[in-house]
Structure 1
């Protein structure tokens, strides 16, 4: 797959957004994709964000939180005006986003879902998120992530 872009990287190139693509060799034995990325790339884990798909009142919604924390489902629901949230079924998440688990990017998803980025992202000049496959991270300004995805920014990490 070397040299082949993902929907996320293609979107960034098309929109001419300043970003850096980082790749590393994914180890399937690693228990956390996000912490694996932080370790492999030598960056602060609080600056690496994971993308989680949840159901809020039956509607798929995306939460983007630091790999150092968990998604607060109640806070995610509140951020989008909902009442109840639960993590989405893996198959539903993959079908809606067009990405595999461990490689779900908040950018370039097949279906544009409501998206909330944890407010801690604003502490950094750049953040890293999945580039659309395991072993591929994209570094970009948090404001660009929010603009490209139409995200809401709210405290959703526990």
Structure 2
């Protein structure tokens, strides 16, 4: 049902036919990158955290980014605590491996991490462990009804630099 709720979500922009369904798994960043044929950093992963009270929040970040606990606490005012798989399903309506900020079961605050801004397009999941859609950052912001851009991740700046060095064949 989750995949269908995401397709229905994209119908309001006539983008439901752009949702891709694959024969192979896209449940992890690596699987998605292999299936789609892009570097792992271009996979937009959605992470679920306990918010204040009963409400959970979603952070969408580049595939090579990791949550920085200090930045997270400074931004949101509470410790980063991820939801359990059962809580993720209950809050989002999506199973782990297909979690995305679209077609959500409950209204949730969605934030986009700046780690994604270095790419023209990214590939978030679409409610199942074998789906994705290609979106620009602006589209991702619009379609997810994001509250804003945040800087709560680490590790991606260094990874991006290494990719540049390899691409340009430069040595420092």
**TM-score, length basis structure 2:** 0.76
> 4+ residue runs of structure 1 moved beyond 4 angstroms?
none
Alignment partner of 1:11 out of 9, 25, 29: 9
Deviations 1:80-125 (A, max 9, x none): x322221112211111101111111111111121111111222222
Superposed displacement of residue 129, structure 1: 0.3
- 1:155 matched to 2:151? The reply is yes
C-alpha separation in 1, matches of 2:21 and 2:87: 26
C-alpha separation in 1, matches of 2:102 and 2:23: 21
Q: Is the 8 A contact 2:50 2:56 kept in 1?
A: yes
Specify the alignment match of 1:124 in structure 2: 119
Specify the alignment match of 1:35 in structure 2: 30
- 1:21 matched to 2:16? The reply is no
Q: Is the 8 A contact 1:56 1:77 kept in 2?
A: no
| TM-aligned CA distance change 1:124 to 1:83, over 3 Å | same
Structure 1 gap ranges (5+): none
Q: How many positions carry a matched residue from both structures?
A: 152
Specify the alignment match of 1:99 in structure 2: 94
SS in 2 for 1:52: strand
SS in 2 for 1:63: strand
Alignment partner of 1:88 out of 83, 92, 95: 83
Q: Is the 8 A contact 1:34 1:67 kept in 2?
A: yes
Superposed displacement of residue 18, structure 1: 8.7
Specify the alignment match of 1:50 in structure 2: 45
SS in 2 for 1:62: strand
Specify the alignment match of 1:69 in structure 2: 65
Q: Is the 8 A contact 1:6 1:131 kept in 2?
A: no
* Greater share of residues in helix: 2
Structure 2 gap ranges (5+): 155-172
Higher-Rg member (1/2): 2
What's the RMSD between the two structures over aligned residues? 2.5
